[in-house]
Structure 1
Amino acid sequence: MDLQLEQIRDQQKASWNNFSPGWKKWDDLTMDFLKPMGDEIIRLLKIRDDDRVLDVAAGTGEPGLTIASMLTSGRVISTDLAEGMLAVAQENAARRNLTNFDTQVCDVCELPFEDNTFDAVSCRFGFMFFPDMRLAAQEMVRVLKPGGRLATSVWNGPDKNFWVTATMSVINKHMQLPSPPAGAPGMFRCAQPGLIADLFAEAGLTNLVETEVNSKLNVGSFEVYWRFMNDVVAPVVGALSKADDAQKAQIQADVFDLIQQKYPDGNVRIDASARVIYGEKA
């Protein structure tokens, strides 16, 4: 990996470690929000009792924790760049009395496993943040056994994810934020239909399937939504860190107005949409 990609990787590691306390705080809400995407990954992977499963970019543990609970003699290894996130995953596994769930800090572009090790690989919302998505796909396929299954989820475009754009659109109106370089890690980097499927095909996967999965961020109120966005959503936190107090107050007020227009009854359940992509190793 070249120096620029290494720098991106190191920035990602630092960012996710920094946000791990927020993810721990909001884990129940976040896992409920992301459950439909994890469920679709699990459905496509057709988990067997004795499977050895790799969960990449595992964060606080899902869907690897749920997969581990389905296995009788199999095992899950959950990997992530951020040891802070995996510490939360370990706590979650202990709370669920899962003894077949392990964690390992590592880079997806340099997986520390032998070829043909795993029966299945899951990766929920990781690809958008990988410095080299092509190399990541190749590494995942490398460690899959022949006949092994791989499934991932990525966010659909901003027009289908009001839970993000409700805040970011207001921030962009109030602040002159620099445009990220083309292809830089970000929420909607993989939104284009077929993008990940093409990477999977290039890496040697066949029987490709791509489905759309919708969800709701069930925050209940504007106040909860605002606190959630400020604790776990990196683009929001990064942008607001550059705003003065007056700007922050105005942004918060404008986001509240926008949410109130969309959900006048006060029951804030915000739309989200993702793509789940599946393939098999020949």
Structure 2
Amino acid sequence: MEAQLERIREQQKETWNKFSAGWRKWDDFTMDWLRPMGTEIITSLKLKPTAVVLDIAAGTGEPGLTIAPIVTNGKVVITDLAEGMLDVARDNALRKGITNCEFVRCDVCELPFDDETFDTISCRFGFMFFPDMLLAAKEMARVLKPGGRIAAAVWGAPNKNFWITATMSVINEHMQLPAPPQGAPGMFRCAAPSFLADLFAQAGFQNTTEKEVTGKLNAGTTANYWSFMNDVAAPVVAAMSKADDNTKEQIKNSVFHLLNENSSNESLALDYGTIIISGEK
């Protein structure tokens, strides 16, 4: 791997380890919100009870831990780059009594598995952060059995994801943030129509399909939303760490005002939009 890509990988590892405590704190809230995308991935994989499944960039364990009870005579290998996230996944598996899963810390661009090991592969919200997305897709193709299926979820366009743009738009109004380098990891890196489907085709996958899954993040209150964003949203935390106390307060007040303007009831529900891409080898 090139030196620049290695630096990106190490930065990603550091970031996700740093935020693993926040993800543990908000795990039930977050996993409930992201469940529809996991459900669509699972449907796309057409799982058999004997399937051996690889869940890549699984974070705190999903959708792998939901898949495990489906593959009763198979197993799930749950992977992530950050050991801190996998610690949460292990604890979740123990709490749920799930025993047919393994946990492996690894880089998706250098998967430590033999060729044609897995029947299916899942990847929910990982691709946007991979240093080399094509290399990652090719590695997935390498370890997937012929005829095996793959399904991944990525975030759709910014205008369909008010849950994050509500905060980031206000931050950008108050601060001069440097533009990220072209192609750098980021939430909307895979949002363009057919982007990931084209990447899958380049990696050798066939019969790819795309499906949009939209919904609402039920954040409860503005205060709850603000706490959540400042515990788990890396772009928000990174930007806010560079602001003085006065700017932080102005940003918070402006975000609350924007949320209240766009909320029609007492419970805060914010739009999200995602894309589910599936294919087969």
Does TM-score exceed 0.5, indicating one fold? yes
SS in structure 2 of the partner of residue 5 of structure 1: helix
CA distance in 2, matches of 1:18, 1:151: 27
1:52 corresponds to: 52
2:241 maps to 1:255: no
CA distance in 1, matches of 2:126, 2:72: 27
Range with bigger deviation, 41-50 or 211-220: 211-220
- Answer yes or no: is the 8 Å Cα contact 1:130–1:136 preserved in 2: yes
3-state secondary structure, aligned to 2:72: coil
Corresponding residue of 2:164: 164
Query: 2:78: which partner in 1?
Result: 78
1:99 matched residue in structure 2:
99
1:42 counterpart = 2:46? no
d(CA) in 2 for partners of 1:250, 1:161: 22
1:264 is displaced (CA, Å) by: 4.3
Q: Could you tell me how far 1:266 is from its partner in structure 2? A: 2.1
Q: Please give the TM-score of this superposition, normalised by the length of structure 2.
A: 0.99
Supply the distance in 2 between the matched residues of 1:177 and 1:54 (Cα, whole angstroms). 37
- Partner secondary structure for residue 70 of structure 1: coil
Q: In 2, distance between residues paired with 1:80 and 1:145? A: 21
Matching residue's letter, 1:219: A
Return the alpha-carbon distance in structure 1 between the equivalents of residues 208 and 259 of structure 2. Answer: 38
- Equivalent in the alignment of 2:155: 155
Residue 217 of structure 1 and its aligned partner are, at CA, apart by: 1.1
Amino acid at match of 1:215: G
TM-score, reference length from structure 1: 0.99
What secondary structure, in the 3-state scheme, does the structure 2 residue paired with 1:69 have? Answer: coil
Cα distance in 2 for partners of 1:103, 1:210 equals 29
Task: Give 3-state SS (helix, strand or coil) of 2:19's partner.
Answer: helix
Assess if the C-alpha contact under 8 Å between 1:119 and 1:145 holds in 2.
yes
CA distance in 2, matches of 1:186, 1:202: 21
What's the counterpart of residue 198 of structure 2?
198
Tell me the distance in 1 between the aligned counterparts of 2:250 and 2:71: 50
Question: 1:219: Cα distance to partner?
Answer: 1.2
Residue of structure 1 equivalent to 2:23? 23
State the percentage of identical aligned residues. 63
Structure 1's consecutive aligned runs of 4 or more residues displaced over 2 angstroms after TM superposition are none
Cα distance in structure 1, aligned partners of 2:186 and 2:233: 11
Quote how far apart the aligned CAs of 1:123 are. Answer: 0.2
Distance across 2 between alignment mates of 1:121 and 1:215: 24
Q: Deviations over 1:194-232 (max 9, x none)?
A: 111011111111111100001221111000000000000
How far did residue 265 of structure 1 move? 2.4
Separation in 1, partners of 2:60, 2:208: 28
Letter in 2 for 1:184: A
Structure 1 residue identity aligned to 2:154: V
Q: Residue 126 of structure 2 aligns with which residue?
A: 126
Deviations 1:158-198 (A, max 9, x none): 10000000000000000000000111000000000111101
Aligned residue for 1:214, secondary structure, equals: strand
- Please, what is the CA RMSD of the aligned residues? 0.6
CA distance in 2, matches of 1:39, 1:202: 26
Q: Determine the C-alpha separation between the residues in 1 that align with 2:152 and 2:18.
A: 24
State the alpha-carbon separation in 2 of the partners of residues 40 and 219 from structure 1.
Answer: 22
CA contact (8 A) 1:67 1:76 kept: yes
Residue identity opposite 2:199 in structure 1: L
Aligned to 2:136: 136
Rounded Cα–Cα distance in structure 1 between residues aligned with 2:221 and 2:5: 39
Secondary structure of 1:84's partner? Answer: helix
Q: What is the deviation of 1:259?
A: 0.3
Alignment match, 1:267: 267
Structure 2 gaps of 5+ residues are none
Give 1:266's aligned amino acid: E
Is the partner of 2:228 in helix, strand or coil? Answer: helix
Contact 1:33–1:215 (Cα < 8 Å) also in 2: no
* SS of residue paired to 2:242: coil
Paired positions, count: 281
